[in-house]
Amino acid sequence: MELYGIIGDPVEHSLSPPMHEAAYRELGLDASYVRFHVEEGDVEEAVEGAKALGVDGFNVTVPHKQAVASLPRLELDDTAEAISAVNTVDLGEMKAYNTDAAGVSRSLERHDVDVAGATAVVVGAGGAARAMAYELSRLDAEVHVANRTEEKADRLADEFDVSGHGLGALDDLVPEADLLLNATTVGMEEDRSPVDADLLHPELTVFDAVYTPLETRLLRDAEAAGADTIDGAWMLVYQGVEAFEIWTDLEAPVEDMDDALRRRLR
């Protein structure tokens, strides 16, 4: 039996197991996916231990994405190296990936969003924002990153050849944007939005990385404004789909993984 999992601290909340287990059932794979609680400072030992115990691969969640990216024995793919964060490891090949970026582009592709030449505004400058800014820039969008701490947005902007701003710039950026992406935790289990509803418009596609709840205040405001919306479950699904395909070399059963995730979220 093949064994996969996820490491993090905490990790009990992870929604990856039901997604991957659904894929194994659908394709008849003899595989299992489990949660591994790993504390900060124990990451390298955990990776070596997993390798020794025959674990085939694992995902990485907070706060270990940067720590895993710095491990000398792992070869980083181009995306993980550019973003300086890892969320997927193939222990057979000792290779590490960042599939969050693919989670962004595959979600947009799923919803028929044409990224090339689009003007995109990313709110936030943390890990999710790094994946979004990198991927959107790679796909030839004009990317603006707006963050509460403008200096952090500027640092991210310098890395990925995009522009950085404070949140005050949203008043000018959002009305002219084609894409608006929330990479903050604003709206998670609360009825708040990171963007004023009056700035939203019908020509906009709004992508919220928050998935608890699935319908955030930002997405409700966007729908009311006539904008297209993409909920955060899609990014979570597609980063998992990408990991599954890296590990198995099989086409992932996307609909089954999505259904399993949404059943758990609801």
Residue 174: closest CA among 150, 196, 141, 191 = 196
Q: What is the pLDDT of residue 100?
A: 97
Q: What is the pLDDT of residues 234-249, one digit of tens each?
A: 999 999 999 999 999 9
Q: Put the strands of the sheet holding 163-166 in their side by side order.
A: 163-166, 142-147, 119-123, 179-182, 205-208, 228-230
Cβ–Cβ < 8 Å for 180, 230: no
CB atoms within 10 A of CB 125: 25
Q: What is the pLDDT of residue 118?
A: 98
Q: What is the pLDDT of residue 266?
A: 86
Q: What is the pLDDT of residue 36?
A: 97
Cα–Cα distance list, 62 to 8, 87, 111, 237 (Å): 6, 9, 28, 17
For residue 248 the two structure tokens come to: 């198995």
- The C-alpha atoms of residue 212 and residue 214 are separated, in whole angstroms, by 5
Active-site option among 51, 65, 95, 152 = 65
Q: What is the pLDDT of residues 78-116, one digit of tens each?
A: 999 999 999 999 999 999 999 999 999 999 999 999 999
Q: What is the pLDDT of residue 21?
A: 98
- Residues contacting 69, CB < 8 A, separation 6+: 76, 80, 81, 84, 85, 86, 96
Q: What is the pLDDT of residue 181?
A: 98
- The C-alpha atoms of residue 258 and residue 139 are separated, in whole angstroms, by 25
Q: What is the pLDDT of residue 91?
A: 98
Q: Put the strands of the sheet holding 57-60 in their side by side order.
A: 31-37, 2-8, 57-60, 88-90, 95-97, 75-76
Percent of the chain whose pLDDT exceeds 90? 99
Helix residue spans in the chain (DSSP H): 16-27, 43-52, 65-69, 78-83, 100-110, 127-138, 150-160, 170-173, 217-224, 233-248, 254-265
Cβ–Cβ < 8 Å for 132, 104: yes
Residues of the chain with pLDDT below 70 are none
Q: Which domains are delineated in the chain? A: 2-98+234-265 (3.40.50.10860), 102-231 (3.40.50.720)
Q: What is the pLDDT of residue 34?
A: 97
Q: What is the pTM of this model?
A: 0.96
- The C-alpha atoms of residue 141 and residue 216 are separated, in whole angstroms, by 25
Active site includes 65? yes
For residue 158 the two structure tokens come to: 């310098």
Q: What is the pLDDT of residue 77?
A: 97
